[in-house]
């Protein structure tokens, strides 16, 4: 008579523990970078998974009014701006500077470097969203930018700047509107 061997309790526990360990490794190496742009090991970026988390809505039109005369805009007296800040972007690094702004508010800005061009993405993330969604309003490489954004949703809004040069670059940012500064992220 043929009987099917039954697994022992020890082998079941060992299989369960191995499954949990394997699932945790897959979570950290693949799922977090691909879904949430969280890459604690750095392998997600090397495998190209972090780009999957960067969902950009290309169908909606940006609600940003670009001001071509940055110098004229930035020369307004300091008292006309709510805030003025200098942000240092280290060589070969990137960082974000954010504001919390309510839907429908007008957010005016002007920023300028010493002439060194930076890659930047001016974007917003809806409050309470856990999917990793963000909306890019302007993405470019330049040494200055200015404009007014009519904010399409409540949440954090600001810039990601990336300095690809060999020297630290200082961004001088002036803003006006109704917002709360979240600062460096």
Contact 65, 106 (CB under 8 A): no
**Domain of 171, in residue numbers:** 55-184
Average pLDDT, the chain: 83
Domain count, the chain: 2
Task: Give 122-162 pLDDT, tens digit per residue.
Answer: 999 999 988 888 899 999 999 999 999 999 999 999 999 99
Task: Give 52-98 pLDDT, tens digit per residue.
Answer: 665 433 333 334 444 444 555 455 554 588 899 999 999 999 999 99
- Rg of the chain taking only CA atoms, in angstroms: 23
2 in a structural domain: no
Q: Are 17 and 89 in a shared domain?
A: no
pLDDT at residue 60, rounded to an integer: 33
4 in a structural domain: no
The number of residues in the chain equals 185
Q: Are 152 and 67 in a shared domain?
A: yes
3 in a structural domain: no
Q: Are 36 and 76 in a shared domain?
A: no
pLDDT at residue 58, rounded to an integer: 33
Q: Are 33 and 89 in a shared domain?
A: no
Q: Are 90 and 141 in a shared domain?
A: yes
Which CATH number does the domain housing residue 72 bear?
A: 2.60.120.680
- To the nearest 5 percent, what fractions of the chain are helix, strand and coil? 25, 40, 35
Q: Are 151 and 175 in a shared domain?
A: yes
Measured distance CA(86)–CA(171) in Å, rounded = 6
Strand partners, 16: none
pLDDT at residue 53, rounded to an integer: 64
């Amino acid at each position: 008579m043929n009987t099917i061997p039954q697994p022992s309790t020890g082998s079941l526990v060992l299989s369960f523990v191995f499954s949990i360990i394997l699932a945790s490794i897959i979570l950290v190496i693949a799922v977090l970078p691909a879904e949430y742009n969280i890459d604690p090991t750095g392998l997600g970026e090397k495998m190209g998974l972090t780009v999957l988390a960067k969902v950009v809505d290309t169908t909606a039109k940006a609600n940003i009014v670009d001001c071509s005369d940055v110098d004229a805009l930035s020369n307004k007296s300091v008292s006309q701006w709510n805030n003025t800040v200098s942000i240092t972007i280290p060589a070969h690094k990137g960082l974000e500077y954010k504001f919390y702004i309510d839907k429908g508010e007008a957010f005016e800005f002007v920023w300028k470097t010493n002439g060194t061009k930076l890659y930047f993405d001016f974007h917003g993330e809806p409050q309470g969203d856990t999917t990793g969604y963000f909306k890019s309003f302007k993405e470019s490489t330049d040494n200055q930018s200015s404009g007014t954004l009519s904010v399409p949703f409540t949440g954090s809004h600001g810039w990601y700047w990336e300095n690809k040069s060999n020297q630290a670059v200082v961004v001088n940012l002036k803003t006006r509107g109704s917002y709360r500064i979240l600062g460096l992220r």
